[in-house]
Amino acid sequence: MNKSISDNGETVAKGSICGYDSLDQLLSANLKPELYQEVSRILLGSNCGRPLEHIVIPASAKDLSSKHDFDLQAFSFSADKEQMRKPRVVRVGLIQNSIALPTTAPFLDQTRGIHNKLKPIIEAAGVAGVNILCLQEAWTMPFAFCTREKKWCEFAEPVDGESTKFLQELAKKYNMVIVNPILERDMDHGEVLWNTAVIIGNNGNIIGKHRKNHIPRVGDFNESTYYMEGDTGHPVFETVFGKIAVNICYGRHHPLNWLAFGLNGAEIVFNPSATVGELSEPMWPIEARNAAIANSYFVGSINRVGTEVFPNAFTSGNGKPQHNDFGHFYGSSHFSAPDASCTPSLSRYRDGLLISDMDLNLCRQYKDKWGFRMTARYEVYADLLAKYLKPDFKPQVVSDPMLHKNSS
């Protein structure tokens, strides 16, 4: 565990909040119970008018958490009881992790090290009865896209490559759908690269894939050095446990991207990400939660953890000197629900598995309650977008005529 010295001279974990793993731990440790409950209600919302309940985790999963030192938390989202539909409860898991070996280690050793590191976490999800599991963006490798060096392309693999085969066995063993985000090498189209999520069915079969729709170009950080915008649209994958979609990383900044998955019928949308504190942390608890509310589905947000140091220095277009790391990946993975409730986050610096039971009936219940689909003006938006795409587009701005009169 990396350590640093706080302002008062105490040693605290690097990436932690005043020495605590997460904001929820900080609040619960320093507030009176009644005040903590009120602060939690405001920050995390309430599910069907109540705080989220903890799930009892099997001892075998807890043992794996202790032995392999990863954060393990579990919560339950309820829905109102209906007269004509039974509850549709699905158990969903998110995994966040740091890399296993230094970036200077042989590439094959790095990938195999991450496989070995994640296997007990995936097994903990399996023995805990998780039905759908999502891993973080480009989980098989360091997040080297900040370097703009092409040697990292060696980590790319086909959709049915080594990592998919590794997860197919676990999916079949535990009857679990697994979302596998990889750096894909497209063998059918000139071996170009994509940022891809492969959907593995609970029988170990490949259901399909989705390629990242939005590519960041922020300062010197430009992922199009490696891959371009995806060509798969906004697919929703119907599994035995529900309809799921994957909004990869930077796509969370685009509300229409979230909307499109909802229009295609998603009930759970995963957001596997890799983002650092200085860049995006104030946005992190807001965007996914807003998407869950606006689109009446559940969202699972995943961010990797740790600070990855690369052998060659690079710049980030922010005026700072060259550096060898992109920043601290702050973890904080969490679930958001359509009723505005959300779970506490996993640790900011530890590997972790977050489990949630969610009654998918809540999606329709909140569509009925708020009527967002019914009251939306899609035809108006479509008309504006059609006009906006034309070269002669003029914004609909009505100016005060007094603005153009001479002051005299």
Indicate the pairing of strand 298-303 with strand 334-336: antiparallel
73 DSSP β-pair partners: 354
Q: Which two tokens stand for residue 283?
A: 């946005």
Pick the catalytic residue: 134, 137, 243, 267? 137
Q: Long-range contacts made by residues 84-89, C-beta under 8 angstroms, separation at least 24?
A: 85/361, 87/359, 87/361, 88/242, 88/359, 88/360, 88/361, 89/357, 89/358, 89/359, 89/360
Pick the catalytic residue: 134, 146, 249, 342? 249
**184 is annotated as an active-site residue:** no
**212 is annotated as an active-site residue:** yes
CA distance 230 to 208: 14
In terms of Cβ atoms closer than 10 Å to its own Cβ (0-12, 13-18, 19+), residue 324 is middle
**153 is annotated as an active-site residue:** no
Task: Determine phi and psi for 251, rounding to 5 degrees.
Answer: -60, -20
Q: Which residues contact 282 (CB under 8 A, 6 or more apart)?
A: none
Listed residue (119, 99, 121) closest to 109, CA to CA: 99
Cβ-based neighbour number of residue 319 at 10 Å: 7
Outline where DSSP puts E strands in 97-176: 132-134
In the chain, the amino acid numbered 10 is: E
Yes or no: say if 284 and 301 are a contact pair by the CB < 8 Å rule.
yes
The DSSP annotation for 292-311 comes to HHHHTSEEEEEE-EEEEEEE
Pick the catalytic residue: 157, 212, 223, 342? 212
What is the CA 383 to chain-centroid distance, rounded? Answer: 32
DSSP 3-state percent helix, strand, coil across the chain (nearest 5): 35, 25, 40
Report the catalytic residues.
137, 212, 249
